[in-house]
Amino acid sequence: MTLMEAFLPMLALVGAVIVVSALLSGWVDRTGVPQVAVFLALGALIGPYGLGLLDATAESPVLRVVATLSLVLVLFTDAVSLDLKEVKKHKLLASLVLGPGTLLSAALIAGAGMWLLKLSLPLAAILGAAVASTDPVLLRGLLRRPALNPSVRQALRLESGLNDVVLLPIILVAMQVLSPPAAGEHEWGRMAISMLLLSPAAGIIVGFAGVSALELMRRRSGVRRDYESIYSLGLAFAAFAAAESVHGSGFLAAFAAGLTIASIDVELCDCFLEYGETTAEMALLFTFVLFGTSIIWSGVTEATTATIIFTVAALLLRPLAFLPALMPAKLTWGNRGLIGWFGPRGLSTLLLVMLAVFGNVDGSAFLLQVCCLVVLVSVALHGLTPILLVQPGAPAASPTPDGRDSAPAPARQPAKTIRLEPVTEAHERAEIITLLDYLELKESGKDVALIDSRTERTYNDREDDVPGSVRVHPERPVADANRLKIPKASRLVVFCA
């Protein structure tokens, strides 16, 4: 078999993931069907239970590489896309979600593992930390729903972006306890230095040096936007490699590099962030397909009464942990319940438990089967309940800095539905105009609408609203145009910088 013949099925699979995800993106957004469910089904179709084209087992080198790269990209993009101003503004809510909320959930789930599955404390800690991880891909559809309360959206966005870095050290320490031979004082000291010093230092150095080099080349010769977009991937992998080369944790380094870039507050083009996030999501979906060939279904085929009861307990323990943990934020019981319920387990859970599998930890294969069952049930429940629990409607209130719910702002009601037609030769072509041109149009008495269609990150970083503009989100222009009753005959002046 030639090298091309060996890699042809994998190349075809990569192409299928990209094509299917693009073609179904609009349908997934409209229907609310979990995107990951589609790719698990695709994995089942090509796996041994279907056409038998591919079987990615836990020992598969391809799965090991893809899973590692996916976790690196997830940690990096979560950190680099973090809005530190929002974190600081809602520091109480962030501390409650990531502190007592996440840690108490992990502790309760670990306790359930010890009681129901008879696991040792280190194995239970790995299971608790993995299952407590919240999947950003499964949450993405929910967070985009306009009717979701902003306090709930902010809490879930912070948790999905940061809780992996809170849970990852728990898994690394538990793996060290279980590693043969037992770790001595010298080994524990080396590990502490690795997690607290070497790994973050490697990430900080790579992040700072990378941004400095980017700024320097921008001033001297300029950087093409398409190359700046892939620059983020280079920094993520460079941080991982730098930490691993000094026997640190490349995953912690990747997160530290992203957090360094976010904290420097350098002006990054949206392509830098969006390309990294899109690439990370493609890697995650591709990994879901690999898991979907056979591994994920082991959670069902190997299910026992104990694992089924544990799965139910794991899904119910999170709300029990978050309801009291969020009490200082003064949220309503309903919003606390939503935050507690919508903590879907997905690929983040599988990637974290796979670290123990890749480390050849005794008992890790069983942990993987349990996590697979939890993920399958979570995809079904958490993937479909947003349709039932969060109904479309007018935008809700903004959260106050201390996390409390504020009164909703009145929404403008649409006078009629606007139908956007496809652009044809008969339509007027778009043109670039200056601010002076816009003011002249406005003064002439013509019907002109100034549209603010900046990306969500750029819009949230604004100091003030542009006078006279209306906010139309770039991902839902028709819905926002209907809500704002923008006349169809109006000339639209759109700015996105």
**Cα distance between residue 349 and residue 387, in whole Å:** 23
Q: For 56-73, b where at least 16 C-beta lie within 10 A, e where not — what string?
A: bebebeebeebbbbbbbb
**Cα distance between residue 242 and residue 14, in whole Å:** 28
- The pLDDT, as a whole number, for residue 411 is 40
User: What class, spelled out in words, does domain 7-389 have in CATH?
Assistant: mainly alpha
Structure token digits, residue 146: 């306009």
Contact (CB, 8 A) for 323 and 97: no
Sequence ranges of the domains in the chain = 7-389, 435-495
- The pLDDT, as a whole number, for residue 408 is 46
Closest CA to 111 of 134, 135, 132: 132
- The pLDDT, as a whole number, for residue 18 is 72
**Predicted TM-score (pTM) of this structure:** 0.72
- The pLDDT, as a whole number, for residue 168 is 86
- Residues β-bridged to residue 471: 452
Structure token digits, residue 10: 């994998």
Amino acid at the residue 147? A
For residue 34, give every residue at least 6 positions away whose Cβ sits within 8 Å of its Cβ, in sequence order, or none: 28, 138, 141, 379, 382, 383, 384
- The pLDDT, as a whole number, for residue 157 is 79
Structure token digits, residue 340: 């507690």
Q: For 392-429, b where at least 16 C-beta lie within 10 A, e where not — what string?
A: eeebbeebbeebebeeeeeeeeeeeebeeeeeeeeeee
Contact (CB, 8 A) for 452 and 474: no
- The pLDDT, as a whole number, for residue 389 is 56
**Residue 358 CB coordination number (10 Å):** 16
**Cα distance between residue 174 and residue 453, in whole Å:** 47
- The pLDDT, as a whole number, for residue 462 is 56
**Cα distance between residue 357 and residue 367, in whole Å:** 9
Backbone angles phi, psi at 492, to 5 degrees: -95, 125
* pLDDT tens for the 497 residues of the chain, in order: 555 555 666 667 767 777 777 777 777 666 666 677 777 888 888 888 877 777 788 888 888 888 888 888 888 887 887 777 777 777 888 888 888 888 999 999 999 999 999 999 999 999 999 999 887 767 766 776 767 777 787 788 778 777 888 888 899 889 888 876 554 556 666 667 777 788 888 889 998 998 888 888 878 887 776 677 778 788 889 999 998 888 888 888 888 888 888 888 666 655 566 666 777 777 777 887 888 888 888 888 888 999 999 999 999 998 898 888 888 887 888 888 888 887 777 778 888 898 899 888 888 899 999 999 999 898 888 776 665 555 444 444 455 555 555 544 444 333 333 333 333 333 344 566 666 776 777 777 777 777 777 666 566 655 556 667 777 776 667 777 777 777 777 777 776 65
Helix (H) or strand (E) holding 24: helix 3-31
Contact (CB, 8 A) for 305 and 100: no
For residue 83, give every residue at least 6 positions away whose Cβ sits within 8 Å of its Cβ, in sequence order, or none: 262, 457, 460, 461
**Cα distance between residue 319 and residue 324, in whole Å:** 9
Long-range contact set of residues 26-34: C-beta below 8 Å, sequence gap at least 24: 28/141, 29/141, 29/144, 32/141, 32/384, 32/386, 32/387, 33/383, 33/384, 34/138, 34/141, 34/379, 34/382, 34/383, 34/384
